[in-house]
Amino acid sequence: MDQIYLFDVDGTLTEPRHPIDPDFGRFFGRFCRTHPVYLVSGSDLPKLQEQLPRSIIASANGVFSCSAAELWVDGKTIYQMDHEFPKELIEALESFVELSCYPRRFGNHIEYRTGMLNVSVVGRNAQKSDRQTYFAWDRQEEERAGFIKLFVETFSEYEASAGGEISIDIVPKGWNKSRALAVLKQDAPTGTITFFGDRMEPGGNDYPLAEALRNDSHRHRVMSVENFNETWDLLKTVRSPRNEILRQAS
């Protein structure tokens, strides 16, 4: 594989926690059938199956779920890396949810996934409008950024990063999306990887992989997008496996 396309899901291929747009889904399905494509997400596989049709998941060369703690190929588990989180860490997350100044809660605030924890003040049961309300509030108040800073100072053996609109991903140090790069380099040591993601900023859960790609080789490309429409526009410029994307994120 000379060229590999690697995609985050929430905010990159879909609206957060929503099924892929039908028109874009048909376009992206065709793209997956003609280009080497991998998916990398903080979500687990069942959640990805709620957002993406079976045909897209089946067409992908591989699916890195749970921030690359799992790899699935042709519906089979290639590896899973699990971790037992200490009691005091979980208690700190519970306190974060309880003591937040944000006034509304909708349930499912701490979710365990393979090798990671996902914590959300507003809760993963929140509907789209409630998620967007919290996201707007958080952008102003920077609650998640403040907690991430405090968390990594307190628990130095762990990482925390903002994921999607409402949550924070907690993983052991080094257990982030950047692990996907090592796997892809084994399969295609001289390949060029183009990565699409919406949380490339420091503290975002796409940032470790973006930095790993930048540091690994100038061949790789990191494409920062804000929504699936931007991803769609960029992919329209790819005419064939030999036609490179010319616009590169700074």
| Alpha carbon separation from 218 to 25, 64, 191, 247 (Å, rounded) | 30, 23, 12, 14
Say if residues 227 and 24 touch (Cβ distance below 8 Å).
Answer: no
Query: For residue 131, what are the β-bridge partners?
Result: none
d(CA 209, CA 219): 15
Which of 8, 138, 169, 198 does the annotation list as catalytic?
Answer: 8
Question: Which residues are 224's β-sheet partners?
Answer: 197
**Amino acid found at 80:** Q
Angle formed at CA 10 by CA 245 and CA 153, multiple of 5 degrees = 105
SS3 readout for 172-207: ECCCCCCHHHHHHHHHCCCCEEEEEECCCCCCECCH
Among residues 2, 10, 74, 216, which one is catalytic? 10
End-to-end CA distance of the chain: 25
Residues β-bridged to residue 192: 3
Q: Is 8 a catalytic residue?
A: yes
Give the DSSP letter string of 140-169.
HH-HHHHHHHHHHHH-TTEEEEEETTTEEE
Positions annotated as catalytic residues are 8, 10
